[in-house]
Amino acid sequence: MKHMRICFVGDSFVNGTGDPTALGWAGRLCVAAQRQGHEITYYNLGIRGQTSRQIAQRWQAEVVARLPKDSDGRIVFSFGANDIILEEGEVRVPFAESLQNTRHILTTAQQLFPTIMVGPPPLLEDDLNQRLATLSQQFGAVCEAVEVPYLEVFPSLQHSQTWKEEVAANDGAHPRTAGYDLLARLVQEWSAWQSWLV
């Protein structure tokens, strides 16, 4: 069995904000993998409110401090929702820049360690979700171009009553236990994640 060190880098959904179990989807993945007999060092680098611009600025220093060059390091990115939020009438990060940031992050990361990306989950408001759905799709195109495996979770979570109800009953953005269970299961069933656990 390998001993992997995995950095999960992103926003509040990566952090697991709102989850009473303090695991989020990233922690759930590591618990499940350890149950299968893998030893995993789990580094959660999700920060609430961060856009792709902010993540681009800090991810590398944080990852390099955690993954020694000779270690079996892995990187999982997930962000996007904060980019499309409005601030004083404008999106926090323009569409083209979001894609540029993502391309730059991924091409740098994949030179260091195996890298995969999980798309942003949906929010509650329809007009936000329209922009976010497009961004989520476009992330897929960026990932394909740079050959980083990408998992889109937006469509299936948008159709989930569990997700919607938990988010609505909480803070309008983050789910609780059942929502993070659901998101974790989507990633767990993904071939790119599974290929790390062979």
Q: Which residues bind its own copies (CB under 8 A)?
A: 5, 15-17, 20-23, 27, 30-31, 34-35, 40-44, 47-49, 54, 58, 61-62, 65-66, 68
63 closest CA partner among 106, 25, 92, 98: 106
The total number of residues shown for the chain amounts to: 198
Measured between alpha carbons, how far is 1 from 123 in angstroms, rounded to an integer?
38
55 closest CA partner among 39, 73, 76: 76
Q: Cβ of residue 158: shortest distance to its own copies, in angstroms?
A: 25
Q: Cβ of residue 48: shortest distance to its own copies, in angstroms?
A: 6
Q: How many CB atoms lie within 10 A of CB 131?
A: 18
Q: How many CB atoms lie within 10 A of CB 141?
A: 11
Residue number, 41 or 188, with CB nearest to its own copies: 41
Q: Cβ of residue 102: shortest distance to its own copies, in angstroms?
A: 19
Residue number, 41 or 129, with CB nearest to its own copies: 41
Q: Cβ of residue 13: shortest distance to its own copies, in angstroms?
A: 12
